[in-house]
Amino acid sequence: MAEIIRMPRLSDTMEEGNIVGWLKKVGDKVSPGDILAEVETDKATMELESFHEGYLLYISVKEGPVPVNDILAVIGGKDEDYKAILAGDSKAAEPINKPKETAAALANTPENQIAVEEKVTAASESESRLKTSPLAKSIASKSGIDLHAVTGTGDGGRIVKRDVENFVAAKSSQPSNANAANASPQYGDVPLSQMRKTIAKRLVESKFSAPHFYLTMKINMDKTADARKLINEQPETRISINDFVIKACAAALRYHPAVNSSWLGDKIRINKDINIGVAVAVEEGLLVPVLFAADRMGLRDINSHVATLADKARSKKLQPQEMQGNTFTVSNLGMFGIDEFTGIINPPDAAILAVGAIVEELSMVDGKVTSSKIMKVTLSCDHRVIDGATGAKFLQTLKQYLENPVAMLV
């Protein structure tokens, strides 16, 4: 019997998927495990796998958006009549990608024809009310001049030849930048990807539903920088500053469970697991893959997992389960030379840490001027879950770990 293939929900926030292309065509034999198509979700481009044996009998949409649970295709016997099964499904009425009505077609509707006729009539009546000599009207027509812009100096405000000639001369003497200012603006519109739509929706919801407040702290990174240098002297080891930050966050969250919590509307969930989302910039926007049980990882494990997840994010190979379950998020723009910034909380988290660049700063220590490596971090908190003192204590613990990294490595 023919089987209907529907658009699956490939992530917890997915409302529709965008068909990038089909890897099978109508008439092709299909086996379980075969990849039918590539689907762009709100988080990544994923492969649509077949779980059925048969032939691809029908494709509803070759390219474009399809709502979750709408029909994508039908798989069945080679000569099986699939139309009956489609006719009985309310979501199979017609392809989603039906061509849009062209502007020309819309213009030919009775309503628009009437509107155009009214505009032409109004314009004609307006021109007929202008007092204009025939010669002035002829010159204006040849020069492309709108007579409504010309001031008449003849009897009763009548527009005469010299008025049009003076207007043309004045217009031609205007600077070129004035002409540019009157020209149509130049721009290019970029269609929204599924990812960008979801980023916009989720961050707007977060910003305007969660009351954010921000705490910024300076951290002396001298000892962390020294520890990193020593560790990286080991063969095939490339630990980053961000690995230390993630490790320190995971350790600090053990002592401050309120920061590792989630707002659920009628209750606050204190998460036992410490799963840290790591913001990764990709071409289409931002993805946040998750390090599960980050508090039980060493620096090497953190480094390896982050590198793997970042590569998968950039190649659009992240799986839904790798982007769900975060309890805290770290976003680092220090590598771009950003001193400090504020992040928008990534639901369902109650906080996100924004990490800036390490900069050399002069300070007075024991009466002597010394140079130190200073990093600014800003904690964005959901005030429904975290109070100011709670967030401040978390940052104090984080600071202690990063200023004495040995403490978090034992």
> Helices (DSSP H) in 173-321: which residue ranges?
176-182, 194-209, 222-231, 241-255, 299-314
Number of residues that this document lists for the chain: 410
Burial label for 310, CB within 10 Å (0-12, 13-18, 19+), is middle
Provide the whole-model pTM: 0.66
Q: What is the pLDDT of residue 115?
A: 43
Residues of the chain with CATH 3.30.559.10: 194-409
Contact 377, 353 (CB under 8 A): yes
Phi-psi bin for 333: left (phi > 0), alpha (psi -120 to 50), beta? alpha
Residues of the chain with CATH 4.10.320.10: 103-182
Distance CA 170, CA 140 (A): 14
User: Which tokens belong to 313?
Assistant: 């994010």
Walk along the chain (410 residues) in steps of 10 and give the mean pLDDT of each run: 86 81 92 90 79 91 90 89 76 45 44 43 50 77 82 77 80 60 74 80 88 97 95 91 97 97 94 96 87 95 95 85 93 95 94 97 85 96 97 98 90
Residue type for 228, please?
R
Specify the pairing of strand 280-282 against strand 285-287: antiparallel
Name residues whose C-beta falls within 8 Å of residue 332's C-beta, 6 or more positions apart in sequence. 242, 245, 279, 354, 355
Active-site positions read: 383
CATH topology classification for 194-409:
Chloramphenicol Acetyltransferase (3.30.559)
- Unique residue bearing structure tokens 């490595």: 409
Residue type for 164, please?
V
Between CA 370 and CA 375, with CA 374 as vertex, the angle to 5 degrees is 180
Of 207, 238, 244, 212, the closest CA to residue 225 belongs to 244
- Strands (E) across 152-299 are located at 212-220, 261-263, 268-270, 276-278, 280-282, 285-287, 290-291
Distances in Å between the alpha carbon of 46 and those of 26, 141, 288, 312, 324?
Answer: 21, 59, 16, 11, 16
Distance CA 16, CA 43 (A): 11
Specify the CATH number for 103-182; select among 3.40.50.300, 1.10.274.10, 3.10.180.10, 4.10.320.10: 4.10.320.10
Q: What is the pLDDT of residue 181?
A: 57
User: Which tokens belong to 252?
Assistant: 């600090």
Q: What is the pLDDT of residue 198?
A: 78
Q: Would you state the torsion angle of the CA atoms of residues 158, 161, 167, 173, taken in this order, to the nearest 10 degrees?
A: -160
Q: What is the pLDDT of residue 93?
A: 43
Specify the pairing of strand 35-40 against strand 45-49: antiparallel
Is 1.10.10.10 the CATH number for 3-87? no
Q: What is the pLDDT of residue 374?
A: 96
